[in-house]
Amino acid sequence: MSAARLNRWMKLRYFLCFFILVLNGPCVGVNYAQVRSQTGLETKNVLILHALEANMPLNVRTDRAIMEALEAGGIGMRNQFFEYLDLQRNPGPEHRKRLVDMLRLRYGERKIDMVITLYPEALNFLLMDCGEIYPDGPIVALYMAPGVELPETGHRIIQHVFRGDMKGTLEIALKLVPGARHVYVVGGVHALDKKNESQARQDFEKWEGLVEFRYLSDMSLEAMLAAVSSAPSESIIFYMAMTGDATGKTFNPRDVAERVSQVSKSPVFGIYETLLDHGIVGGSIVSYGNIGTQAGQLAISMLRTGSDHDNTSEIFDVPGVPMFDWQQLRRWNLSVGDLPEGSIIINRALTLWDFKYYIIVALAFLVAQSLLILMLLAQKRRRRSAEESLRQSENRLRLITDSLPVLIAYIDSTQRYQFNNKAYVDWFGVTPAGALGRTVREVVGETLYQDILPYIEKALSGEHVSYVQDVELGSGRKVNLEGIYVPDVDENNLVRGFYALVLDATEKNAAREESKRLQDDLAHASRITTLGELTGALAHEINQPLSAIMSNAKAAKRFLASTDPDLKEVEEILDDIVAEDARASQVISRLRSLLKKAPSAFEKVDFNQVINEVTGFVHSNAAMREVRISSDLASDLPPIKGDRIQLQQVVLNLLTNAFEAVSEKPPGERQVCIRSWLEDSAIQTSISDNGAGIAAEEVDNVFKPFFTTKAQGLGMGLSISRSIIIRHQGQIWAENNPDVGTTFYFSLPAESA
């Protein structure tokens, strides 16, 4: 890539970065503000003082690097000040005086916390002429000449000594050109050129005697070019820089580098970044961007630590960067493998060898052109077949989705329909074509749209949504909808739309309610059947208080018929009558509650009380069957939430089954035990008998409908009991006892306090 193309690309890149910053301005601004507030440097001011003009390539690259380093460290653009003194082109005292006035006007009322100078002239100007503007404070002095002695000041000065890595560049050159026997060192007569030559002579001493050095400086440019063009083939041209020749003419060092490269028959090496892409191969390059970056970072570090007044001069060094021009490497047939590790290569261009695979493919294409045409024809036929298969697949998919009772649709990010199955358009009374492209609001109506809008917004934000919602259609009909919305996300995690699957669950819920009603009816019928089996015991239970009432009434009548009735005795008899009447009323009340047909009503229930009510109810039945009931109920059990009558039915069914199970035992050995306890936040209940037990192969079947071991049984009692327990979020099971008999267990979740 040429320098012009590189510059155009850099401009385009900066324009794109600027465009992105404009688009994201508020966000980016907040981020830099956060950085500055975190570093505490947001109020610090830094002055960058140039001795020379602004448009020098060296200054441009250095400034850009300083600017980026300060910004990254927390000092924003508004706190960076760049001044160009142009002292070389305007050396007179009047110009210096005007500069001082201008700087006093600009910075007299503004606190400067740090100054970065470029070249010794800028540092001298700051120290000698601007004392009142910047009396103390740290200074980072860039591009200083070696051995410069600074006056005593109140500033802490960190110097960057500008030295090209000539030794490192020559080492690289000799490695790349191992057969070199001559080194032509090209320079000029300007003071800076002579300093470079003096450094080169000192740095190259280690190679004296190994190669021949020839220094081309005290001559005209034309004579120097002639000497370079006649150099032996085993030579290296070391171009430092030429700003003036022996005739007094001045030059742009880059122009001289290009002319040297044009006439040279040997590779040209150099040390300055500005000479790359102007004829030199490269070397250990002075990177102005690297110098600017390190200077900015050093300034940030000094401002952050506050170490700016120890009146000492220090030196910081910036090593060279191995940089090379690909075109020059190719021109002189130099091996890339011999370059130092981490080298930077510019202008790397594609060669014919880089296109070798394309050339091979092109030749293969020419050879196999006829075959490829036949393959394309076959591919065309296969494509037609694939398209037909795709159409058939789409038709099958359409038939499948249209046959489903579920409402299926695809809705894009603008809430417009892109697909609807038949159930969807039929449900809303629109045609398939009439729904496509229309918005959800237009198709479903305003009332329903407002109900489902929150779910649509969640789906379009990328959230999987499922809901059950009672809604009212525009016609006034109320329905129950069960919906699932699945987002459609692309490879960049952006939501393109969502798939909607909706079911009208109105009829299903009605059927569920009807099933629940039928279960309640069946449970009620089961209670009546069970109570029918207890008729004799119930009659005996009621007959006892009635007989007592009759006997007490007759006794009271006799007492009252005597000549001197004992009224206190009559009063006690009447109290007995009232007590027996209450006893009979309680029996009838319990019977009525079990016979009552009412919808399920869940409430807080004391389960021990439920057990006691049922055991009291079956007490007479147990007595008639000569069954002994024992209870072991834990105290202070928490309540449960359930239907009292249904829970009574479960206990009643299990107790009557236990009575049947022990009926074959001798009268004195018939035992049933009921227990309750708290375990794992659930109330556990067990009803045990000492009967014959259940056959092992039938234990898992006892809760199935119509399974019974009784000659006259319907096999519904345990099945209904299981349904009731499951409806109460519990579990029920049966186990044969280790010794004899069976135990039925069930657990119900306890209510939290």
User: The domain that contains 529 carries what CATH number?
Assistant: 3.30.565.10
* DSSP code per residue over 626-637: T-EEEEEE-SSP
Same domain, 641 and 708: yes
> To which residue do tokens 């229930």 refer?
605
In a domain, 509, yes or no: no
Which residues make beta-bridge pairs with 555? none
Same domain, 240 and 266: yes
DSSP for 117-132, written as a single string? EESHHHHHHHHHH-TT
pLDDT of residue 27: 39
Examine residue 495 and state whether it is found in any structural domain, yes or no: yes
Mark whether 232 and 326 lie in a shared domain.
yes
Give the other-Cβ count within 10 Å of 251's Cβ.
17
- Cα(600)–Cα(594) distance, integer angstroms: 13
Cα dihedral 443, 447, 449, 451 sign:
negative
Q: Please report, for the domain that includes residue 112, its CATH number.
A: 3.40.50
**Secondary structure class of 313 (helix, strand, coil):** strand
Distance CA 396, CA 405 (A): 16
Which pLDDT score, from 0 to 100, does residue 422 have? 77
pLDDT in tens, 632-689: 999 889 999 888 888 887 888 888 888 888 888 888 889 999 999 999 889 999 999 9
Q: Are residues 412 and 399 in the same domain?
A: no
Same domain, 170 and 154: no
Assigned domain for 7 exists: no
* Structural domain ending residue among the three candidates 504, 537, 558: 504
Question: What is the distance between the alpha carbons of residues 46 and 75, in angstroms, rounded to a whole number?
Answer: 8
In a domain, 5, yes or no: no
Q: Is residue 138 assigned to a domain?
A: yes
- Tokens representing residue 250 in the block: 């001045």
Report the CATH number that the domain containing residue 459 is assigned in CATH: 3.30.450.20
> Does 569 lie in the same domain as 646?
yes
| Range of the structural domain that residue 390 is part of | 364-403
Classify 239 as helix, strand or coil. strand
Does residue 710 sit within a domain? yes
pTM of the entire predicted model:
0.44
Which residues, in sequence order, are bridge partners of residue 241?
A: 187
Q: Convert the pLDDT of each residue in 497-536 to its tens digit.
A: 998 888 776 666 665 665 566 555 555 555 555 555 555 4
DSSP sequence for 15-58: HHHHHHHHHTHHHHHHHHHHHHHHHT-TT--EEEEESS-TT-HH
Burial 366-404 (b: 16+ CB within 10 A, else e): eeeeeeeeeeeeeeeeeeeeeeeeeeeeeeeeeeebbee
> What pLDDT score was predicted for residue 466?
87
Axis crossing angle, helix 3-23 with helix 25-39, rounded to the nearest 10: 90
Chain length of the chain: 753
Question: How far, in whole angstroms, is CA 64 from its chain's centroid?
Answer: 36
CA-based end-to-end distance of the chain: 79
Q: Edge-to-edge, what's the strand order for the sheet holding 46-50?
A: 80-84, 46-50, 114-118, 139-144, 157-161, 313-316
Task: Give the pLDDT confidence score for residue 669 in this predicted structure.
Answer: 86
Residue 700 CB partners (closer than 8 Å, separation 6+):
none
Residue 2: per-residue pLDDT = 42
Same domain, 444 and 381: no
Would 429 be classed as within a structural domain?
yes
What is the DSSP annotation of 467-513? EEEEEE-TTS-EEEEEEEEEEEE-TTS-EEEEEEEEEE-HHHHHHHH
Match 């860039």 to its residue by tokens. Answer: 142
Q: Are 149 and 187 in contact (CB under 8 A)?
A: no
**Nearest Cα residue to 69 out of 273, 299, 285:** 299
Closest by alpha carbon to 717, among 629, 661, 650? 650
Spatial distance between the Cα atoms of 5 and 2, rounded to a whole number of angstroms: 5
Shared-domain flag, residues 606 and 675: yes
Question: For position 448, what pLDDT does the model report?
Answer: 80
Name the region of 626 (left: φ>0; alpha: ψ -120 to 50; beta: rest): left
Residues 62 and 148 in one domain: yes
Please tell me whether residues 102 and 241 are part of one structural domain: no
For residue 670, give the nearest of 692, 694, 698, 699 by alpha carbon: 692
Same domain for 260 and 369? no
Domain count, the chain: 5
Q: At what angle do helices 535-561 and 506-533 cross, to 10 degrees?
A: 60
Which two tokens mark 505? 């669950």
CATH code (residue 226): 3.40.50.2300
Return the half-sphere exposure (C-beta side, CA atoms, 13 A cut-off) of residue 271. 25
Integer CA distances (angstroms), 387 to 260, 266, 377, in order:
67, 65, 15
> CA 510, 515, 521 angle in degrees (round to 5)?
130
Query: Tell me, what's the pLDDT at 370?
Result: 81
Would you say residue 6 lies in a domain?
no
Tokens of 673: 């035990």
Helix axes 120-129, 93-107, angle to 10 degrees: 70
Distance CA 162, CA 195 (A): 11
Instruction: Tell me which residues of the chain have a pLDDT lower than 70.
Output: 1-39, 307-313, 349-356, 358, 397-398, 402-403, 429, 431-433, 473-477, 505-552, 554-559, 566, 568-570, 572-573, 575-576, 578-600, 706-716, 753
Say whether both 519 and 612 belong to one domain.
yes
For residue 130, give both structure tokens.
Answer: 């601007």
**Residue 82 burial by Cβ neighbours in a 10 Å radius (0-12, 13-18, 19+):** middle
